[in-house]
Chain A
Amino acid sequence: MNIHFVIIMLYFNLEGGMELYVTLSIVLPWIVAFVIYLAKNDFVTNVLSLLMLPVLGYFAWEVYFSGNVMLIDTPHWVDYAITIYDFGLLGYFLYQGIKNKSMLVSALAILQLVLLIIVILMIEHSNTANIYVDKLTVFMYMIVAIVGVPIAIFATKYMEYDEKGKHSFVAILIWFLGVMNFAVSVNNIEWFFALFETTTLASYVLIRFRMDEQAVKNAILALWMNQIGGVAILFALLTFLKTSGMYHFTDILNADSKVVPLAALGFLSLSALVKGAQMPFHKWLLGAMVAPTPVSSILHSATMVKIAPYLLLRISPVIKGTLLAKLLIITTGFVFVAAAVIALTQDNFKKILAYSTISLLGLMMLAAVVGTPIAITASLLLILFHAFAKGFLFIEAGVLEKVFHVKYIKQMRRLIERAPLTLMFIFFGFLNMTFVPFGTFIGKWIMIEEASGFLSHGSYVLLILYVGAGSAFLSVLYMKVLGISVRKSHGIERVRALPLPVRFNFVSIWYYVWLLAMTVFIAPFIATQIVPIAQELSGQMPNIHADHLSLVINTSTLYFWQILGALVILSLIHALPFFVHFKNVDTAKPYNCGEAFPRHIETYNFVCISKYENYLIAFSIALFVMVLVLGGGLL
């Protein structure tokens, strides 16, 4: 079958060129998913998911190196097909709502149906192409290929541990990647709505995968919350159609800023906030953890939530500097800090990771709406490194769950003796989320530097406070979790490395090596790969360049010796303890003031904060309404 594809590819290569690779990036995962679903054969599933890695990577690579912006016209029938698909999708949601007796789901589905009909009645034919592939799109393709596909490979092994339905599960994961590739390439907002709702469908199916009571409940929650995002997109579409008749991203970006209605942009941002699981809509992402772990992994890293910063990056040139942008900064920044604070109170490992995703998504969106070239670079960096680190961490969470039967951080006690390798990977993932030379840190750093330049508006001082405070809270969170897992009993060295399955190790090492390589060469990497994307999005060249291996931003430099020094120190901290044993040193028991040794030592659970959780959520609702009413200019 693969030979077949190669032949088709070679044939089209002469004809279609880059457009073919774009089409294949979108369509191939759908086909492969279908094949896996039909074949239900171990060999087919494993081989095809493994093959997706080089194949999708190659397509993204080819599109990337063609380098030009592509507007691809689609045949007219695709329009109709997507409209029909829309109705089918919403009909399915309605059916699910009725079947599961959820008023909210059915009501929102009906509302969307009505709005969709109005949209279709109002929409006029436009000659703008429906597929738009620029550097940002290819960037997302790359993330899907490099970060997303390994998760499917991981899932092929994961699902063999007493889980049912391996083949359909892997098929849905791969299909999800295709949906994501499609969603980031559409130009037509009506199509974007269809894809937006398809990701909702995919997450619904995945969250519900185990089909127990809790899973179905959480899936329904995810369904109605994400449908609110869909409603917001439809409202945005209606406003666009009513005021200017434009419904393509490129048209909106090229139009005079006076023509573009702020209300519509406000609605689009709202859908991003919902998709990005920003408080008060964060519950659906937390609920996703009842599903098999690869689901969390794929939702948090390569797909689904990344649509949110993607959408805001798309529209960032038009909302930059408006009141809407400032309100969005305040809202997302608040979520960045609040989610980090709430994460401190959690004791479920996956929940902690989920809260930190919510938190960092807030930061990505914040950077995206600030919209200056450097801020956009920061946002892109955060998207990329967060995808890698979170994919990595959730993979390790899956390993912990299946091999070591650890779900809560309480059970992570003395993990260093039971699972040294996995703990080392988790350690590295956490370091990536906040410490010095890694991409997430650089995102935060250049965000603060950038915001320092225009402090005259209060929201920007708030921004700096948010970034400083949020990163401090996140560091505390990670150090706390790591601290629990490195706890050792005195003197006893009982390190038993359990052999892990090959596919688990392959995926872990894949992420590890990528993260390490990107961090060492971070300066040239940012300057040559990320900066051009930011330049294309914002229309200006960000003042970032690489001086050999040192990173220069405006007047500040992150020297290579600093990057390397921090990397060496952190590598020593996260890896050395597993290998170094002082031979000639006597050991002693810890001082305990003459008391009996406690069997377990608890750590702070920050219960004093969980009292305020509801206040934090209430405040975020207020901010949300403020974005809608003031930012969207509804008053």
Chain B
Amino acid sequence: MKFETLMLLLTLFAPIIGGFVYGVERIVKARMQSRVGPPLMQPFYDFFKLMDKRPLMVHSLHAVMGIMYFIACWFSLLVLFLGNDLLVAVFFHVIAVLALTIGAFSVRSPYSVIGAMRELMHMISYEPLMVLMVVGFYQVVGSFNLKDILNYDGIPLLQLPVVFVAFVLAIPMMLHKSPFDVAEAHQEIIGGPEIEYSGPFYEAVYTGKWIEYVYVFFFVFLFGGSHYWLGALLVLFVFLFVNALDNATARLDFRRMVKFSWFVLIPISAFNIIFLALWR
């Protein structure tokens, strides 16, 4: 199959793949807590249930932004898969954040507004790191092109070990997992940006989150270069690690998150890249 067709199919089915990933995640998490957990298809059952519900909204702007979040997420995934520049894909993701935060800001609910502000803090934490990671790939592969990275003979992981570690630690920030789930923080602000969505509109936001799973784990996959089995292993490992971390840690304050990103993750990744540039 041609590369483009494969990628197009992947993008088209991304919500379904993301849904399965989410289903697996719920089972894995449950097993880690010695529970049985929901069936694998539970996210899809939820999907149909939500679609069936009476649509309720706070006001149209808010509802529209929920849908736009989903579209922007999907489109950024398309850009990641079919565009040839990773950096552009990273910046496209900001559009999704824009839709989500504008929506969350637009309602007069303290939880939603606090959630939106925290969402922005999430972005400050992970975006510079994503840029550095992509630049790291450029250092290794010599191109920002996705195809070149997937055809690279070496293993990017070996040359970017610190960047990889930093990125894995940043994944909880991107997917809102403990200890960095400050924007959602169910016990505290009851889901943050998504609290005011219901019915089909919530479904849009919910599915957008599934797409983010695909988006984030695909970056992990890239660390394997052309050794796809390694990429798959890495994804598996990171998936388990992130869930274990999610189960094992308590939520941190958002200041801790920003500080951790800015004073630990970003400097170490920058050093990795500097040394890589020096030793070549």
Contact B75 A565, beta carbon cutoff 8 Å: yes
Contact B60 A580, beta carbon cutoff 8 Å: yes
Cβ–Cβ < 8 Å partners of B88 in chain A = 436, 445, 556, 558, 562
Contact B95 A566, beta carbon cutoff 8 Å: yes
B247 at the interface (CB under 8 A from A): no
Segment at the B interface, from A26-34, A224-232, A395-403, A463-471? A463-471
> CA separation between A210 and B5, bound complex, in Å?
64
Cβ–Cβ < 8 Å partners of B1 in chain A = none
Contact B127 A588, beta carbon cutoff 8 Å: no
Q: Give the Cβ gap from A464 to chain B, nearest Cβ, in Å.
A: 5
> CA separation between A572 and B75, bound complex, in Å?
14
Segment at the A interface, from B8-16, B233-241, B270-278? B270-278
Cβ–Cβ < 8 Å partners of B56 in chain A = 585-588
> CA separation between A604 and B254, bound complex, in Å?
12
Contact A569 B75, beta carbon cutoff 8 Å: yes
Contact A585 B63, beta carbon cutoff 8 Å: yes
In residues 66-114 of chain B, which contact A (Cβ within 8 Å)? Answer: 68, 71-72, 75, 78-79, 83-85, 87-88, 91-92, 94-95, 97-99, 101-102, 104-113
In residues 395-415 of chain A, which contact B (Cβ within 8 Å)? Answer: none
Cβ–Cβ < 8 Å partners of A487 in chain B = 105-108, 113
A120 at the interface (CB under 8 A from B): no
> CA separation between A488 and B109, bound complex, in Å?
10
> CA separation between A486 and B61, bound complex, in Å?
9
**Known contacts A475-B123, A562-B83, A565-B75; A436/B110 CB under 8 A:** no
B170 at the interface (CB under 8 A from A): no
Contact pattern, B 241-280, Cβ under 8 Å of A = 1, otherwise 0: 0000000000000010000000000100010011011101
Contact B109 A591, beta carbon cutoff 8 Å: yes
Contact pattern, A 563-581, Cβ under 8 Å of B = 1, otherwise 0: 0011001101100110011
B120 at the interface (CB under 8 A from A): yes
**Known contacts A591-B190, A598-B108; A557/B60 CB under 8 A:** no
> CA separation between A515 and B132, bound complex, in Å?
30
Contact pattern, A 15-33, Cβ under 8 Å of B = 1, otherwise 0: 0000000000000000000
> CA separation between A434 and B94, bound complex, in Å?
10
Chain A interface, number of residues (Cβ within 8 angstroms): 70
Contact B107 A555, beta carbon cutoff 8 Å: no
> Which of the residues A468, A570, A581, A590 comes within 8 Å of B132, measured between beta carbons?
A468
B58 at the interface (CB under 8 A from A): yes
Q: Which positions in B face A, CB cutoff 8 Å?
A: 54-65, 68, 71-72, 75, 78-79, 83-85, 87-88, 91-92, 94-95, 97-99, 101-102, 104-113, 116-117, 120-121, 123-124, 127-128, 130-132, 135, 138-139, 143-145, 190, 195-196, 198, 255, 266, 270, 273-274, 276-278, 280
A–B Cβ pairs within 8 angstroms, 12 of them: A435-B95, A436-B88, A449-B144, A472-B127, A475-B98, A479-B102, A487-B107, A555-B144, A562-B92, A577-B64, A585-B56, A588-B198
